[in-house]
Amino acid sequence: MTAPAPAMPAAPAIDAAIVRYVQQHQPCRFGELAELFVDAAPLGVVNASHLQALQARLARLVACGRLRRMAPLRFTARGRGVRDRLRFIAGDEPATTDLSPPEACLDPHHPPTPEKGPDMAATRVKAKAMTTPVPQNRDDCAAYIRTLGDLQREFERQRADMNDRIAEITNAAQPVLAGLTERIDALRTGIQTWCEANRVALCGEGDRLGKTVNLVTGEVSWRQVPPSVQVRGAEAVLDRLAVMGLDRFIRTRAEVNKEAILAEPDAARGVPGLTIVTGLENFSITPFEAAAEVAA
């Protein structure tokens, strides 16, 4: 009986290499990781045990928060049905310092060149070349802040001027629009009054000729308004429905309680689809302004 081939070594450097590769190419398919860390590794004949070893390694990285799984795990004996569907992205826990792929993990004759499929092409984003001027010293930075303040004040002046012009146009057009609206409403009311009085002549008894009438210059029609529910005093209505046992008329909305998750981040860590963002800072620039005071 042939002894099974040795499983992939459980070296921390291999875990770090996997995490680093996922960070650089996320979302990363299981099949891609298998090609790099199993198929190309010096393990002799690759069999199902090697894929299961990789599966266990990835599950351990997911459990400790260094990777996140984007789909439920579906693993068969030969790894079929999982190489393309199962994808991983970087988790919340930072990776170790030494993340270079070790010699024991990758074959030197098979460099870690990822397979470029349509999924990866759609998710990879090239960083734009930086064309923004950057100050070179403290004096330059102070000058940039002064220029920023000048531009912000000019922006506010232009916006105020635009709003003044809009107000002038609105005030000038308001009387004309009001007069047109009054005439339109009067004509609508008169047309509806005449049509309601002559509905039988226009549509026949019981609307047997239809509810739409062509009057050469246009048409008039009657349409049944769908039933609707009007609620006055929503809280009181909810209480009455609950007391009367009409819970089926009460809609309960389920949503993620973000405040509770922030209060217990460790309990929610590792849940697929949840990312607890920490350590971010908001950078603000406040150009100095002279406060003008009016004497009483």
Q: Is the omega angle on the peptide bond into residue 42 within 30 degrees of 0, that is, cis?
A: no
Please give the pLDDT value at position 114: 44
Please give the pLDDT value at position 190: 95
Name the residue type at position 257.
N
Please give the pLDDT value at position 65: 78
How far is residue 72's CA from residue 69's CA, in Å, rounded to a whole number? 7
pLDDT digits 0-9 by tens, 109-153: 344 444 444 444 444 555 555 577 788 899 989 999 999 999 999
3 state SS of 289 = coil
* Selected residue with higher pLDDT from 127 and 285: 285
Sheet strands (E) in 55-164: 67-69, 87-90
Please give the pLDDT value at position 27: 76
Please give the pLDDT value at position 191: 94
pLDDT digits 0-9 by tens, 143-160: 999 999 999 999 999 999
pLDDT digits 0-9 by tens, 228-255: 999 999 999 999 999 999 999 999 888 9
Please give the pLDDT value at position 75: 47
Please give the pLDDT value at position 56: 79
Please give the pLDDT value at position 24: 79
| Helices 48-63, 12-25: inter-axial angle, 10-degree rounding | 80
- pTM for this structure? 0.44
Residue 176 has pLDDT above 70, yes or no: yes
3 state SS of 105 = coil
Q: Which residue has the tokens 């349509």?
A: 118
Please give the pLDDT value at position 46: 54
* Selected residue with higher pLDDT from 110 and 57: 57
Q: What is the mean pLDDT of the chain?
A: 76
pLDDT band at 14 (very low <50, low <70, confident <90, very high): confident
The token duo for 41 is 């590794």
Please give the pLDDT value at position 107: 39
Q: Which of 26, 25, 33, 91 is nearest to 61 (CA)?
A: 91
Percent pLDDT > 90 in the chain is: 36
Distance (Å) of CA 24 to CA 5, 27, 32, 96, 284: 30, 9, 13, 15, 30
